[in-house]
Amino acid sequence: MAFRSALINVMVMAARKAARSLARDFGEVEQLQVSRKGPADFVSMADLKAEKVLVTELRKARPDWGFRLEEGGVIEGRDPEHRWVIDPLDGTTNFLHGLPHFAISLGVEKAGVPIAGLILDPVKNEMFLAEKGQGAFLDERRLRVSGRSRLNEAVIATGLPFHGRDGHERALREVGKVAPEVAGIRRFGAAALDLAYVAAGRFDGFWEWDLNPWDVCAGIILVQEAGGVVSALKPGGDALSGGSILATNGGLHNPLKTLLAGA
């Protein structure tokens, strides 16, 4: 990203600081203090520490902005339009099992619309950035979605509900519809990185239900600025807050949406 706006610089500095904390804790994953917040849904001290770092750093730079946080809930700001949308550790289960596939997801919404996003993978040291009208980047390299137009050449990512969540039968039906038509389906366990990979052309599409705004805010603007298409799976729904998402390179959007609707 040859030119970084003041907003992007603020996001980068905050994310880098939080990433150092996550990387240290990942190196000592067996010693982490862990508490349960639901069936198979873990929150670690690493998660909470990273969120605290992000809130502290971002509040210094934009004291009037509010927050929508995975762990801390909604914090209203004096600015009625702008809000940070943060998942300090997307892929918590991977993290706690020593799987090196997780990320910090930091988005900005203005009047309910994503306008900037950062997804940082601390292990691979990959930082995905996007700002409305400025394009999407992996570090300094401009990102474009893939150019594949045939489903049988496409690799599609998805998320599957874990223990304690509804939707298992629907997920199996959807995989059953999509799998015979595509080159492969992947389930990596970090929605933010799935969306970043669509923006980077590594995946040709991604779908998932039962997501939250902090899972997708940064990824939505990344895919859009890379030339992709994002929509809700539920008719009339909103991809940011509607709980479902379909993100593709554009050319495969309608065929994939039709397959999923048939499930």
The string of pLDDT tens digits covering residues 170-199 is: 899 999 999 999 999 999 999 999 999 999
* C-alpha span between 189 and 181 (Å, rounded): 22
Whose CA is closest to 18, among 124, 103, 142, 108? 103
CATH topology of domain 6-142: Fructose-1,6-Bisphosphatase; Chain A, domain 1 (3.30.540)
Chain segment 63-105, per-residue pLDDT in tens: 999 999 988 899 999 999 999 999 999 998 898 888 899 999 9
The conformation of residue 262, written as its DSSP 8-state character, comes to T
Q: Compute the average pLDDT of residues 124-153.
A: 96
Q: Which residue has the tokens 């992709």?
A: 228
pLDDT at position 43? 62
- 6, HSE (Cβ side, Cα atoms, 13 Å): 2
Q: Compute the average pLDDT of residues 199-207.
A: 98
When the candidates are 1.10.150.120, 1.10.760.10, 3.40.50.720, 3.40.190.80, the CATH number that belongs to 151-261 is 3.40.190.80
